[in-house]
Structure 1
Amino acid sequence: MAEPRKKPPAPRPQQPAGSSPRPAGATPGKAVAPRTSAGEVGAPAVPQYESLIPKSSGVRALLAPVGGFGVTLSNMFRKTVTEQYPRETVPTKPRYHGRHQLNRYADGLEKCIGCELCAWACPADAIYVEASDNTPDAQFSPGERFGSVYQINYLRCIFCGLCIEACPTRALTMTNEFELAGPSRAGMIYEKDDLLAPLREGMLAAPHPMVEGTTDTEYYRGEVTGPTEAQRAWVREHRPDDPTLPEGAGVTAAEQVGPTAAVMAQNVAAAHRQGGVR
C-alpha cells in the first residue's frame, strides 16, 4: 500500500525590498519599528603631551644647535696628541682586553678543567678545547678532567671578554699584551703551551698529585697556598731532574715558551727595531 504524500511547506512571505530584517520572535505581518544605530565607540581622548623641559627663547634658543657641538668645537682647538708607536709604547689601561692567559694554582696545577664553556660562549667561534681525564700518574688539574688541547684563533677573536666571564674556575683571563703579529694564518693560532701562565717561584711543574687531604673545592676556594713536601717527593721520584724542585735550576729554566708565542715575540721585536730607525 502506497504511503500518502506529504504536503509541501507553505512558502514564506517575501520581505519587501529595502525593509529591515524582521527580528527573531516577531509576529508575521506585524509592523516592527527599525532599531536605531547607537554609533561606533570613540577612542578615549588623549591629553596633549607637554614637555617638562622649559623651552628656550631668545639668544639661548638661537645658540641651542651650536651647544650640541660644544664637545666637538672645544676639541677642534686643542693640540693633537699622536702616539709615536712603535717608537714609544704607551701603557694600556689596567682592565685592557689583550692576549689570553691560562692560569695556575699556587702549587703549579692548572686551573683549566676542560669544561669548554669558554668555547660555547665565544661569539666568533675562536676557541677550541679538548678535555682528558686526570690519572694518578698524570694529574694536571684538580678534579677529574683537564684541558689537554686548548687553541685560540686570533684571526677570529674579537677580544670581547665573554670567554673569561664564562670560565667557572678563573682559569682564563686576559692580559695587557696587545702586540700580536704572526708570519702566517697558522701562526696566529695559539696553542696551550703559548697560553699557559709562567711558573712562579715555589710552584711545581705539572703533572703532580693534589695536596694531600684536599679536593677541588679547596683549590677553588684558594685554600691551597703552595706545594707540600709530599708533592715534591712525588716529583723527585718521577722527574728527579725537574728544574722546579728546590734543588733544581729554578722556574726560569723550566719556562718553555710555545713555538707560536716565540715566533710572534720575534716579529714584534723586529717591528720595534724597524720602527726605531728614522
Structure 2
Amino acid sequence: MSELLGPLAGFGVTLSTMFKKPNTEFYPEVKTPTAPRYHGRHQLNRYADGLEKCIGCELCAWACPADAIFVEGADNTETERYSPGERYGQDYQINYLRCIGCGLCIEACPTRALTMINDYEMVDDNRTDLIYTKDRLLAPLEPGMEAPPHPMAPGATDDDYYRGTVPGSDGPRSRADGGEEQAS
C-alpha cells in the first residue's frame, strides 16, 4: 500500500500548485524600486565645490578580494588640483566581471570617496564595456559645483574638506547623498 501512496503524494504537490496564480514580474517594462540602502554600482563622490574625494591611496584595491579594482594615484599641483589633498586618483577602474559586490572597498576608503548607489542595471554585450573607468564612476556635477581641476575653496584647509565644512557648502551631507554621515 505504501508503494501506491508515494507517487500519489508527489502528484498531490503538483496538483496543489497547478492552479495557483503565477507570480510574474514584467521587469524590463515595469521596474520596481530598490530598497533605500541597496548596494549596486560603485560611485566616486565629490566635495561640495566639485573636487574629488578620492586621494589615490589604493586601499580599496588592496581590500578587494576579487582583484577587481585598479587605482593609480598622481600628485596634485597648484595649477592642476583634482582633490584637496596631496594626491588624487588619476586612473580608477572597476572590473564588474570580477566584482562580487562585497563592499569591502567601501569599508577601506578613508575619505568615503567610494560608495555604492542603487543602480543595478550593469549589462552589456561587450566585455570591455563592463570595466568602468573613472569617467563613468564619478558622481555627476551638481548645480554650484565646478569641474576639476581648480583650486580649493577660498579660505578652506584640508581639515575643512575632511570634516565636510567647506566654505560655501551647506555642511556635511548624509550617507544617502553619498556624503559624510552627520554626527548627532
1:124-143, aligned counterparts within 5 Å?
124-143=66-85
Separation in 2, partners of 1:87, 1:218: 45
Indicate the residue corresponding to 1:188 in structure 2: 130
Separation in 2, partners of 1:130, 1:183: 27
Unaligned runs of at least 5 residues, structure 2: 1-16, 170-184
Task: Specify which of 55, 58, 63 is matched with residue 121 of structure 1.
Answer: 63
Is 1:167–2:105 an aligned residue pair?
A: no
Is 1:155–2:100 an aligned residue pair?
A: no
Bigger relative CO (Cα 8 Å, ≥ 6 apart): 2
Q: Could you list the per-position Cα deviations for residues 7-33 of structure 1 after superposition, in whole angstroms to 9, with x for gaps in the alignment?
A: xxxxxxxxxxxxxxxxxxxxxxxxxxx
1:236-251, aligned counterparts within 5 Å?
none
Is the Cα–Cα contact under 8 Å of residues 106 and 225 in structure 1 kept in the other structure? no
Query: In the TM superposition, what is the alpha-carbon distance from 1:217 to its structure 2 partner?
Result: 1.4
Q: Secondary structure at the match of 1:164?
A: helix
Change (3 A) 1:210 1:78: farther
1:15-94, aligned counterparts within 5 Å?
80-94=22-36
1:217-228, aligned counterparts within 5 Å?
217-226=159-168
Q: Secondary structure at the match of 2:62?
A: helix
Q: Could you say which structure has the higher strand fraction?
A: 2
Is the Cα–Cα contact under 8 Å of residues 68 and 99 in structure 2 kept in the other structure? yes
Is the Cα–Cα contact under 8 Å of residues 116 and 129 in structure 1 kept in the other structure? yes
Query: In the TM superposition, what is the alpha-carbon distance from 1:138 to its structure 2 partner?
Result: 0.4
Task: Specify which of 118, 133, 139 is matched with residue 197 of structure 1.
Answer: 139
Change (3 A) 1:161 1:140: same
Amino acid at match of 2:156: T
Percent sequence identity over matched residues?
69
Query: In the TM superposition, what is the alpha-carbon distance from 1:121 to its structure 2 partner?
Result: 0.8
Task: Specify which of 105, 118, 121 is matched with residue 47 of structure 2.
Answer: 105
Change (3 A) 1:225 1:93: farther
Separation in 1, partners of 2:29, 2:143: 33
Query: In the TM superposition, what is the alpha-carbon distance from 1:225 to its structure 2 partner?
Result: 4.7
Q: Secondary structure at the match of 2:25?
A: coil
Separation in 1, partners of 2:23, 2:164: 44
Change (3 A) 1:131 1:80: same
Unaligned runs of at least 5 residues, structure 1: 1-75, 228-278
Q: Secondary structure at the match of 2:88?
A: strand
Indicate the residue corresponding to 1:209 in structure 2: 151
Query: In the TM superposition, what is the alpha-carbon distance from 1:79 to its structure 2 partner?
Result: 5.5
Separation in 1, partners of 2:117, 2:53: 16
Separation in 1, partners of 2:84, 2:21: 55
Q: Could you list the per-position Cα deviations for residues 218-255 of structure 1 after superposition, in whole angstroms to 9, with x for gaps in the alignment?
A: 1010111547xxxxxxxxxxxxxxxxxxxxxxxxxxxx
Q: Secondary structure at the match of 1:113?
A: coil
